[in-house]
């Protein structure tokens, strides 16, 4: 009899997991709250910064919030910022403004209020005193005018006009594409608008002097703030409700431009019933700067934060939540239960390998199914049984590491060399000096080297496992324990000499060792010397241990031979 892993329904489960790897409007029904009240907060009338590592559920939360708000009749625009990656201020601000107004224009054009509601009268029947049209049509015209001006501004430089630019550049067709899109039914979640705008910026980059280019557009943007406030004020008046703007994946934008973009939208939104929800990675982002003058969104004053990072420190909570997510997919696919597919040890190793990140958890599980099937095809009576084991997860995590490596390159265009050097030092410290997977860093450490370690955590190459660890030989100092990603010493990279520390257990003495302390500022040459010294000590200890073994009695020695 074939194991449950080979049932046809499991193939359907793998397909669902692959489809659910990226958040989308179609997958919002699978959203599960990581913490009670998260969804309620994301829909509230308050600006929010939603923090979480890639794959932690930021986009899922934003999609779910936007969908429920749209279904409730609120004006919503959802803008994906990834297409504007590499664009610079002020073009990136003009692009995001253009995409936002396109989305709100689409909502206003396509929304049909429910009969019997006050909105029905307000939007569709009530006439404007100044024009012979309903207020909804008047606002549509006003928003369309702003879109047209922004589109021209995006491709305009001081010494040229949009007309001359079009005649010179044969590749420039973005204005026509956007005009066509405006007539279609692009929903508030479609990212075709963002992609068209981003391509338009690339196509129209010419020989205009950068200084003049920036000065003209910034002046224009400053002058337009009152006009944009009027648009949102009128939209709130007509609908009788608030508006919501979702800006997803802000970390793709140039970091120095992020506070300026948020500051501009905050100035538009303040007092005009517009609420901003921003999804990003905490240590890959900059949302507020103090000098030379405050710019951006200040947490606590201007906005609140929603933290979606489910770390391994709360191991039981992370395990329960990730199990619940997997159970939902299992139920939808009508496949054998999680317990029938995955051993208890396999589940524990899966949580560790994922670092508590939902997308990684599901992605590694999908690969672990394939590893377990291959093992059982070779040996149906394998000693590890007919469920996914910890070793199957190790093999899957090793191959999944290639995906993390690709995402690392994609997300670190500006500082990839620095981050890669910082990661290689940690990797060598763990695998070549410690021969272990857990290390300690000073809780109070600061500076660029400490920041790089934190960014590696956000990039899912290192994982947080314990706070406030003390070491007896270092009184007064507090450390935190971090885990090197499992992919670095399993699978094809498997290292048999690595001690896997059971950090989730109550035995804190496992972590209270001075030898685990890692100095992020250490120079590569100094690390080389420490690794060589540690190797000499290890070889000496092994030799001493071998020489210290007591001699066996002659009779026993003969029997053993």
In order of 359, 416, 461, the CA distances from 425 in angstroms are 27, 14, 12
Question: pLDDT class for 198, splitting at 50, 70, 90?
Answer: confident
In order of 48, 65, 107, 117, 388, the CA distances from 45 in angstroms are 9, 12, 19, 22, 45
Tens digits of per-residue pLDDT, 252-279?
999 999 999 999 999 999 999 999 999 9
Q: Is the pLDDT of residue 456 over 90?
A: yes
The predicted pLDDT at position 176 comes to: 44
Q: Which residues, in sequence order, are bridge partners of residue 75?
A: 243
Tens digits of per-residue pLDDT, 334-364?
999 999 999 999 999 999 999 999 999 999 9
Report the share of the chain in percent with pLDDT over 90: 63
Q: Is the pLDDT of residue 556 over 50?
A: no
Q: Which residues, in sequence order, are bridge partners of residue 499?
A: 436
The predicted pLDDT at position 429 comes to: 96
Q: Cα–Cα distance between 318 and 321 in angstroms, integer?
A: 5
Q: Is the pLDDT of residue 11 over 80?
A: yes
The predicted pLDDT at position 167 comes to: 37
The predicted pLDDT at position 126 comes to: 57
Q: What is the mean pLDDT of residues 205-231?
A: 74
Tens digits of per-residue pLDDT, 413-451?
778 999 999 999 999 999 999 999 999 999 999 999 999
Q: Hey, what are 228's tokens?
A: 């944009």
Global confidence as pTM = 0.83
Q: Is the pLDDT of residue 201 over 80?
A: no
Question: pLDDT class for 561, splitting at 50, 70, 90?
Answer: very low
In order of 48, 103, 194, 276, the CA distances from 191 in angstroms are 22, 10, 5, 18
Q: Hey, what are 439's tokens?
A: 């290390």
Nearest to 196 by CA among 218, 214, 180, 220: 180
Enclosing H/E stretch for 48: strand 48-51
The predicted pLDDT at position 414 comes to: 79
Q: Cα–Cα distance between 272 and 234 in angstroms, integer?
A: 9
The predicted pLDDT at position 116 comes to: 57
Q: Is the pLDDT of residue 555 over 60?
A: no
Tens digits of per-residue pLDDT, 479-535?
999 999 999 998 766 777 888 888 998 777 889 999 999 999 999 999 999 999 988
The predicted pLDDT at position 124 comes to: 56
Q: Which residue has the higher pLDDT, 133 or 365?
A: 365
> Which residues are CB-contacts of 300 (< 8 A; sequence separation ≥ 6)?
none
Helix, strand, or coil here: 248?
A: strand
Helices (H), 52-110: 58-71, 91-110
Tens digits of per-residue pLDDT, 125-170?
555 555 556 778 889 999 999 999 999 988 876 344 434 333 334 4
In the chain, the largest separation of any two C-alpha atoms, in whole Å, equals 113
Tens digits of per-residue pLDDT, 97-122?
999 999 999 999 988 776 655 555 55
């Amino acid at each position: 009899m074939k194991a449950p892993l080979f049932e046809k329904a499991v193939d359907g489960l793998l397909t669902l997991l692959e489809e659910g790897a990226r958040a989308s409007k179609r997958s919002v029904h699978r959203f599960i709250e990581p913490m009670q009240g998260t969804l309620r907060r994301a829909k509230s009338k308050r600006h929010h910064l939603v923090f979480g590592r890639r794959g932690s559920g930021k986009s899922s939360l934003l999609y779910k919030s936007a969908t429920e708000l749209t279904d409730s009749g609120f004006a919503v625009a959802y803008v994906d910022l990834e297409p504007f990656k590499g664009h610079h201020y002020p073009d990136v601000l003009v692009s995001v403004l253009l995409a936002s107004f396109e989305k709100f224009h689409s909502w206003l054009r396509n929304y049909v209020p429910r009969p019997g509601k006050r909105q029905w009268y307000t939007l569709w029947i009530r006439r404007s005193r100044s024009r012979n049209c309903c207020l909804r049509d008047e606002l549509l015209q006003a928003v369309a005018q702003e879109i047209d001006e922004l589109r021209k501004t995006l491709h305009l430089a001081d010494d040229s006009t949009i007309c001359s630019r079009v005649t010179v550049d044969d590749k420039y067709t973005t204005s026509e594409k956007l005009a066509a899109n405006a007539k279609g039914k692009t929903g508030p979640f479609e990212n075709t608008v963002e992609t068209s705008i981003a391509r338009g910026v690339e196509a129209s980059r010419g020989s205009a002097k950068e200084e003049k280019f920036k000065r003209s557009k910034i002046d224009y943007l400053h002058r337009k703030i009152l006009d944009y406030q009027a648009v949102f004020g009128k939209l709130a008046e007509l609908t009788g409700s608030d508006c919501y703007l979702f800006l997803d994946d802000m970390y793709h934008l140039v970091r120095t431009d992020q506070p300026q973009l948020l500051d501009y939208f905050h100035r538009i939104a303040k007092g005009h019933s517009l609420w901003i929800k921003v999804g990003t990675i905490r240590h890959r982002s900059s949302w507020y700067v103090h000098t030379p003058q405050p710019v951006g969104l200040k947490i606590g004053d201007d906005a609140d934060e929603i933290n979606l990072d489910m770390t391994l420190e709360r191991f039981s909570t992370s395990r329960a939540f990730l199990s619940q997510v997997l159970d939902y997919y299992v139920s939808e696919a009508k496949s054998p239960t999680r317990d029938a597919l995955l051993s208890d040890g396999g589940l524990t190793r899966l949580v560790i390998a994922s670092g508590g990140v939902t997308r990684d958890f599901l992605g590694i599980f999908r690969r672990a199914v394939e590893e377990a099937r291959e093992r059982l095809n070779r040996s149906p009576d394998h000693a590890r049984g007919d469920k996914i084991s910890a070793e199957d997860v190790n093999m899957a995590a090793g191959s999944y590491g290639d995906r993390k490596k690709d995402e690392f390159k994609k997300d670190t265009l500006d500082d990839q060399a620095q981050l890669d050097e910082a990661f290689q030092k940690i990797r060598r410290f763990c695998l070549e000096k410690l021969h272990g997977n857990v290390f300690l860093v000073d809780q109070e450490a600061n500076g660029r080297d400490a920041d790089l370690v934190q960014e590696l955590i956000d990039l899912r190459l290192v994982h947080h496992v314990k706070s406030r660890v003390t070491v007896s030989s270092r009184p007064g100092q507090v450390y935190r324990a971090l885990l090197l990603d499992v992919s670095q010493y399993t699978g094809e990279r498997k290292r048999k000499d690595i001690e896997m520390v059971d950090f989730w257990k109550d035995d804190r003495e496992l972590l209270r060792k001075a030898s685990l302390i890692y100095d992020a500022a250490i120079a590569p040459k100094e690390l080389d010397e420490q690794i060589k010294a540690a190797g000499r000590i290890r070889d000496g200890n092994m030799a001493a241990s071998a020489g210290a073994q007591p001699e066996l009695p002659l009779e026993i020695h003969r029997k053993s031979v």
